[in-house]
Amino acid sequence: MENDIEWRFIWKACIDSSQKTLLMDKNISRFFPELYKEYGDDKMITFEKAITLECLDNKAKAEELYEKSAMEKTGLPVSHWRTRAKYFAERHSSKKTEYKEDFCIQWDTFYNMHTYINLHPHIRYLAISSVSRVNNEPEMAVVIFRTCFEICLELYWDLSINQKGKKNTKDLYLGKKVEFLFKDKIDKSLYTDMLLIVDEGNLAAHPFKLKEGESPDPKFRQPKRERVKEKPFKYENEDISKILRAFDSVMKYCDSKATQSGKNILYKDLGLIN
């Protein structure tokens, strides 16, 4: 258990160093050497350094470090992470066609989450780590997707507005918040993606079965459901891919809408300002 906790702690430190590098002077030699000094030659540091270099458009050096991370004996200690590092080394080449489409969508989304550098560091970390686990723990990951979106709404949008003299927007159910803030105000496909993240998050958190002949309850984004012991559905690869595309779209929009106050929180929590 201690090793698991330490590994996650190191990974989060890597992700934070990536964000600091991309936000500040874009000097790869500023923050990552401190990680090697503290944790030794941990290959997750090397892998996250490679992703940061790719974000900085230094693809040649990134590919070199990806290949180093993918080496069987001296690379990342877990085989499925070495496979992922190998994919990153090859995804801009013709070799990408050798990988299954759903695998490519998942790990391209994983990379994209690294580029959303205006998100609060904890949201960004949750987004990155949950995308990495979505194929093994889909219900948990999808609930976290919804949570990331919900926290973004709290941070980057004004929820104190009254809805036609009724409750403040902040007091509404998440689906109703999304409807009030965005319906007919943004691109329809983006709005659809937002509702999908809300709906799928609700379904993953509360796996109930719709009663026969029952219609959706307009009060909630998800239908009324009858609790059952066994899971009423399983995720197919195309389901996960659809959710990942929607989550990527929504997080990209949230990143672009981070307010100045949100950025001040971001810089403070990363230790870049007092």
Average pLDDT score over the chain = 85
Task: Note the pLDDT of residue 253.
Answer: 96
Q: Containing domain of residue 25, as a range?
A: 1-99
Specify whether 258 is located in the same domain as 139: yes
Instruction: Report if residue 267 sits inside a domain.
Output: yes
What is the rounded average pLDDT of the residues 94-106?
94
Of 71, 99, 127, the domain-final residue: 99
In a domain, 107, yes or no: no
> What are 234's two structure tokens?
């399983």
175 vs 113: which has the higher pLDDT: 113
What is the C-alpha to C-alpha distance for residues 262 and 116, in angstroms, rounded to an integer?
Answer: 14
Is 106 within the bounds of a domain? no
Question: What is the model's pTM?
Answer: 0.87
175: pLDDT strictly greater than 70: yes
Domain count, the chain: 2
Residues 95, 212, single domain; the answer is no
pLDDT digits (tens, 9 = 90+) for 10-31: 999 999 999 999 998 889 999 9
Report if residue 193 sits inside a domain.
yes
70-to-77, 230, 271 alpha-carbon distances in Å: 9, 39, 32
Tokens of 122: 């904890």
- For the stretch 247-270, pLDDT in tens is 999 999 999 998 766 666 677 777
Q: Using only C-alpha atoms, what is the Rg of the chain? A: 20
- Out of 67, 99, 131, a domain closes at 99
Whether residues 87 and 132 fall in one domain: no
Q: 130 and 85, same structural domain?
A: no
Cα separation, 176 vs 185, in Å, equals 14
- Same domain? 179 vs 51: no
Residues 154 and 29 in one domain: no
Q: Which of 99, 133, 149 delimits the end of a domain?
A: 99
In a domain, 105, yes or no: no
**Is position 57 within any domain?**
yes
Residue 229 main-chain phi, psi, to 5 deg:
-75, -45
DSSP conformation letters of 229-270? SS-S----HHHHHHHHHHHHHHHHHHHHT--HHHHHHHHHHT
Backbone angles phi and psi of 117, in degrees to 5: -85, -10
Q: Does 174 reside within a domain? A: yes
Does 269 lie in the same domain as 151? yes
267 lies in the same domain as 141: yes
Instruction: Based on the fold, state whether residues 88 and 129 are members of the same structural domain.
Output: no
Plot region of 217 (φ>0 → left; ψ -120 to 50 → alpha; else → beta)? beta
Whether residue 177 sits in one domain with residue 69: no
Looking at the fold, whether 131 and 88 belong to one and the same domain comes out as no
Q: Tell me: do 90 and 176 sit in the same domain.
A: no
User: Is residue 113 domain-resident?
Assistant: no
Residue range 6-15, pLDDT digits in tens: 778 899 999 9
pLDDT digits (tens, 9 = 90+) for 186-240: 999 999 999 999 988 988 887 655 555 544 444 444 544 444 445 555 788 999 9
